[in-house]
Structure 1
Amino acid sequence: MDADGSPQEITTLVGREVYSNNGVFVGEVEDVRLALDAETVTGLALTELNGELFSGRIEPGKGVMVPYRWVRAVGDVILVNDVVERLKDDEQEEAIA
């Protein structure tokens, strides 16, 4: 939905940058996963991933699928919950232990 409540074309999501709600770049939307029967978006396929967040977890050149329920806001960029940043925090904790 647009700021005025009108629906947007799904294709407008493709190419948008995705950031965590803490302002950390996550990746760029390459594709959208749909539930056709419910006519809803269920996930965002991201590429051009933040190397710091996904280093050692995702092979270079690969992408990730982010559940759409993590999306907090859609505007010029897409904001998602900080769950993605926890990947980095988990990695740091393992290094300390």
Structure 2
Amino acid sequence: MDGTPQEITTLVGREVYSNNGVFVGEIEDVQLDLDAESVTSLAVGELNNELFADTVSPGQGVLIPYRWVRAVGDIVLVNNTVERLREADDAEEAVA
């Protein structure tokens, strides 16, 4: 991106891929921190069933922390999502 501010709504509908080029899903919504005026997470649906079959029920989505985003263009590139989501689930269980 060229640094020009864009509407957050332009993210909705973009496809999300891992750094390895694997389709993750499609952005359905964004989660914001209004105080910091920043995006905190991407709500991703239309998930790749092969990646999420063991962790997410059909028809559900996932929240991907925006800090995992590596690039935003015609598509959105994120860190290797599957390992990251498993690490986050393990951390949440340890806290609970």
Query: Alpha-carbon deviations, 1:24-59, whole Å to 9, x = none?
Result: 000000000000000000000000000000002101
Partners of 1:11 and 1:83 in 2: CA distance: 22
1:19 CA displacement: 0.1
Task: Tell me what 2:61 maps to.
Answer: 63
RMSD (Å), alpha carbons: 1.6
Identity %: 73
1:82 CA displacement: 1.0
> 5+ unaligned residues in a row in structure 1: which ranges?
89-97
Partners of 1:30 and 1:74 in 2: CA distance: 15
Change (3 A) 1:8 1:37: same
TM-score computed with the length of structure 1 as normaliser: 0.83
1:86 CA displacement: 6.4
> 5+ unaligned residues in a row in structure 2: which ranges?
87-96
- TM alignment of 1:14-33, pairs within 5 A: 14-33=12-31
Change (3 A) 1:61 1:82: same
- TM alignment of 1:24-43, pairs within 5 A: 24-43=22-41
Partners of 1:67 and 1:82 in 2: CA distance: 12
Higher-Rg member (1/2): 1
Mapped contact 1:20–1:84 kept (Cα < 8 A): no
Determine helix, strand or coil for the equivalent of 1:52.
helix
